Amino acid sequence: MSDAHAIQPTRDDTPRHYVLSGHVIDVGKAAPGLHIVATPIGNLGDITLRALATLAGADLIACEDTRVTRKLLDRYGITTPLTTYHDHNAASARPKLLRRLGEGAALALVSDAGTPLVSDPGYKLVLAAQTAGHTVTALPGASAPLAALAVAGLPTDQFFFAGFLPPKAAARRARIAELARIPATLVLFETGPRIASTLADLAAVFGNRDAALCRELTKIHEEIRRDDLTTLTQVSAANEIRGEIVLVIAPPTATAERPSERETDALLQQALARLSLKDAVGEVAVATGLPRRELYQRALVLAKEGRHGAAR
């Protein structure tokens, strides 16, 4: 894989072009600065003409995986050099990229799919570039969260993107509890191997909210399942679901603002099974909005009942 410090500065008279439907389109050198370029989330046709011109006109493209980005560039006949910039090398790669910007280079930043800075480390590079006085330009395009919102059939006037939930069960449930009372449609990323357990945890905390499971968006096997969380949990438990998934979940309703005593007890019991009494009360208080004092008294009763039950 290429590395930023090993790439020689590109001459301004270097031929730059992209190929579209068999036609070679010549472009000029992109303006100096950092260009945040959205790329397709699946279908390689979902890219703008401005993005193609910028990728072809840049001196260097920073990407998560050169193999993934090279497929896109090959599709459009673009030969701009690539270098890696991802979670594992960001700290060491960032100074090299900033040095290239300081030399007047045009640097394009892309992710493996979609809009950079959505669930990737790009914001640190953007902040560093802006702090150093470099121009930062956004080239909008494909975005998995927005694509999922468009087809979910759920309210879009307010939405909250929460990215990936923690992979470990206890941390995931704690995060779900934090998200429970956000008065907006929720958008989450998830993987096939974890989708069944994630849906089960969501249903346990959120109840029977409407949701959409959006799988492999824009790809050949694109699939949109719209149902309530309980049904989606049952479907995912009975069927292997593969691919990249975006979950869109309806906001809480007015009637869901105060859970029933039974629902509250269930949340407390789940929390007490993995947390201290204090932490369990805190988690459920965040999830339900109920007073901590009230929850604490109920948790004491449930904890006592649990100990007595275990002794029998």
Mean pLDDT of 57-82: 97
Domain 145-254 -> CATH class:
alpha beta
Using only the alpha carbons of the chain, give its radius of gyration.
24
Q: Where does the pLDDT of residue 78 fall: very low under 50, low under 70, confident under 90, or very high at 90 and above? A: very high
The total number of residues written for the chain in this structure: 312
Q: Where does the pLDDT of residue 32 fall: very low under 50, low under 70, confident under 90, or very high at 90 and above? A: very high
pLDDT at 11: 54
Residue 81 near residue 61 (C-beta atoms within 8 A):
yes
CATH number of 4-142: 3.40.1010.10
pLDDT at 280: 86
Pair type for strands 33-37 and 106-109: parallel
Cα–Cα distance measured from residue 93 to residue 108, given in angstroms and rounded to the nearest whole number = 14
Q: Which residues contact 70 (CB under 8 A, 6 or more apart)?
A: 82
Residue 86 near residue 111 (C-beta atoms within 8 A):
no
For the cut 60, the answer to whether the pLDDT of residue 266 exceeds it is yes
Task: Name which of 15-19, 207-211, 275-279 the model is least confident about.
Answer: 275-279
| pTM for the model | 0.79
Instruction: Sort residue 274 into left (φ over 0), alpha (ψ -120 to 50) or beta.
Output: alpha
Q: Is 185 helix (H, G, I), strand (E, B) or coil?
A: strand
pLDDT at 307: 59
Q: Where does the pLDDT of residue 13 fall: very low under 50, low under 70, confident under 90, or very high at 90 and above? A: low
> Which pair of tokens denotes residue 98?
């900033």
For the cut 80, the answer to whether the pLDDT of residue 254 exceeds it is no
Mean pLDDT of 237-252: 94
Which percentage of the chain shows pLDDT scores above 70?
92
Cα–Cα distance measured from residue 196 to residue 181, given in angstroms and rounded to the nearest whole number = 22
Domain regions of the chain by residue span: 4-142, 145-254, 261-311
pLDDT at 151: 97
Domains 4-142 and 145-254 agree in fold: no
At residue 231, what is the residue type?
Answer: T
User: Which residues sit opposite 26 in a β-bridge?
Assistant: 17
Task: Name which of 9-18, 138-147, 179-188, 229-238 the model is least confident about.
Answer: 9-18
For the cut 70, the answer to whether the pLDDT of residue 27 exceeds it is yes
For the cut 50, the answer to whether the pLDDT of residue 159 exceeds it is yes
Cα–Cα distance measured from residue 164 to residue 111, given in angstroms and rounded to the nearest whole number = 16
